[in-house]
Structure 1
Amino acid sequence: MKTELISTVFLSEKRKNTLIMLLNGPATIDEIKQSINGTTSAIMAQVKILLEQGLIEQEDDEYRLTYIGQIVLKKIKPLIETLNVVEGNKEFWDSRDLAAVPENLLDRIGDLGEVIIHEPDLNHLFEPPKELLTSLKQTKNVCTFYSYFCPTCPNNYSELAKKEVNYNLILTKPVYERLRDEYTEQYNAILESQNSHLYICDENIITPGAISVTDNLLLLSFFNKKGFFDHKKVISFEESAREWGREFFMHYKEFSEEVQ
């Protein structure tokens, strides 16, 4: 039975997606069909298997998870979400050094959901992705962490400060010192803002490349396993990813001191 249940869930994308959909509540065949893009006959064939395995049940025209189905899916869903994130960009994740991510967040990496891997061309290596710049123009809240220096970022920092966006910025000590010493105008704008808070991270802890969380976007960058920053970034627009990113940011805030 163990093998049968595992096969039932994982050996068919239609069965897997049907079960995940039913976690949100009962649905008719037409609603399932609309959600997972299959023909009625193809979906009915998979529904029959799910019924036979006792994972779903039918009541009138609707299908719902059984108690066993709920138990199984609540345990399996995080695994499915993790596999979706990792397998979709396996080469990228294989090359990343994820030592900076706390274990509890690694366990929930599936929360990143559907991600975009941003890899700029040679003409845009040192520019933030357009998605981030667009989001920064609209957002009212930003949490940002940087352990490398981005030449265009000081102007972005100061613009957020001048607009009195609710802005929390954590920098490693070398990045902070360069901002302070070479970008005095932008640095002062941050310190003079009522809603901006600047922190210096403890230099003795392992850090990622960058974390940026806005009202609608999460951006992450990690060093590769050789310790180099290769400009590749992860972007997600999902709410669960932003919550994951905020927790990641708060982890580093605990190891940081605010600049007064």
Structure 2
Amino acid sequence: MKKPIVEVLVSSEKRRNMLLLLLDGPKEMETILNSLKTNRTALLPQIKILKESHLISKYEDIYKLITIGKLIVEEMIVFLEITNMFGENRDYLGTHFIDFIPTDLLKKLPQLGSCNIIDIPIGDLFDAEKDFFEKAIMSKYWFQITSTLHPVFHEFYVEMIDQGTDVSIIFTQEIYEKIKHDYYDDFKELIDIKLISFYVYPKDLEFVSFILADQSINFRLFTQEGESDNKKMLFSSPASLEWGKELFEYYRQQSIPIIEI
């Protein structure tokens, strides 16, 4: 009796790895054995199952995916990306709110690659962010969405524009009001320079902060209970940076430019 396709794909790492290898094109048996670090005796039973399931074919000593196999393996990669992303980070993503991410970008989340979940000691929260800021001074761009205000925001933004960095900031309405009340002169100076793009997001922001710089995305999320904590999520793959630009643009289009105060 033939195994169900799902069982063929998930119950054997050798079968799964062979299918992924053949997605790049036909391979000779010797190449397959070397790539999978196995021997013919161990692999032949798995090959038999793949052939019986009409996923691969053989000509002489060369194996390749047939059309059905190629379609299934391409979808399997999507599944593996999803399980890797949410499996490795389920303790964080499962306890934090991510529904604010637009559906099309949420589907792309597994393509961002691995991420680091970092615990920041409560007393060092701003110091840890300052260290991240200092490392990002030389970035070509700095895109930020935030519901918090760093105590040295003025000095940092001035240094960024002195370095020629493209800076765009989206504040929540609450933070915008706080800046106008507590830091009016500093903020007016930044606006008058006209080298930073400031915006106000008029709705409730459903995450703590988002920063996209040359080298990484720095994300702080609310918990499912709507609380902020001392954890942040870092991505640094090229795919994550493009994803981050799309997310920032999504929120920028819903925000109101700050031209003057």
TM-score in terms of structure 1 length: 0.80
Partner of 1:97: 97
Moved more, 220-229 or 9-18: 9-18
Tell whether 2:178 aligns with 1:178.
Answer: yes
Which protein is bigger by CA-based radius of gyration?
A: 2
Q: 1:235 to 1:21 in 2, by over 3 A?
A: farther
Partner of 1:167: 167
* CA-based RMSD: 3.3
Identity of aligned residues (%): 26
Q: 1:233 to 1:13 in 2, by over 3 A?
A: farther
Question: Unaligned stretches of 5+ in structure 1?
Answer: none
Residues 161 and 193, structure 1, Cα contact 8 Å, conserved in 2: no
- CA drift at 1:252: 0.8
Tell whether 2:257 aligns with 1:246.
Answer: no
Question: Unaligned stretches of 5+ in structure 2?
Answer: none
Q: Counterparts of 1:60 and 1:184 in 2: how far apart (Å)? A: 78
Q: 1:81 to 1:156 in 2, by over 3 A?
A: farther
Partner of 2:230: 231
Q: Counterparts of 1:81 and 1:94 in 2: how far apart (Å)? A: 17
Q: Counterparts of 1:134 and 1:30 in 2: how far apart (Å)? A: 51
Q: 1:50 to 1:77 in 2, by over 3 A?
A: same
Q: Counterparts of 1:163 and 1:240 in 2: how far apart (Å)? A: 25
C-alpha offsets along residues 152-193 of structure 1, whole Å, 9 cap, x if unaligned?
554433322221212221111222333453274466346525
Residues 199 and 252, structure 2, Cα contact 8 Å, conserved in 1: yes
Structure 1 segment 19-38 matched on structure 2, within 5 A: 19-26=19-26, 38=37
Q: Counterparts of 1:207 and 1:52 in 2: how far apart (Å)? A: 50
What amino acid does structure 1 have at the position aligned with 2:255?
A: S
Q: 1:174 to 1:72 in 2, by over 3 A?
A: same
Partner of 2:124: 124
- How many equivalent residue pairs? 257
Residues 216 and 237, structure 1, Cα contact 8 Å, conserved in 2: yes
Tell whether 2:81 aligns with 1:88.
Answer: no
Structure 1 segment 196-207 matched on structure 2, within 5 A: 196-202=196-202, 204-207=203-206
TM-score in terms of structure 2 length: 0.80
What amino acid does structure 2 have at the position aligned with 1:173?
A: Q
- CA drift at 1:256: 0.4
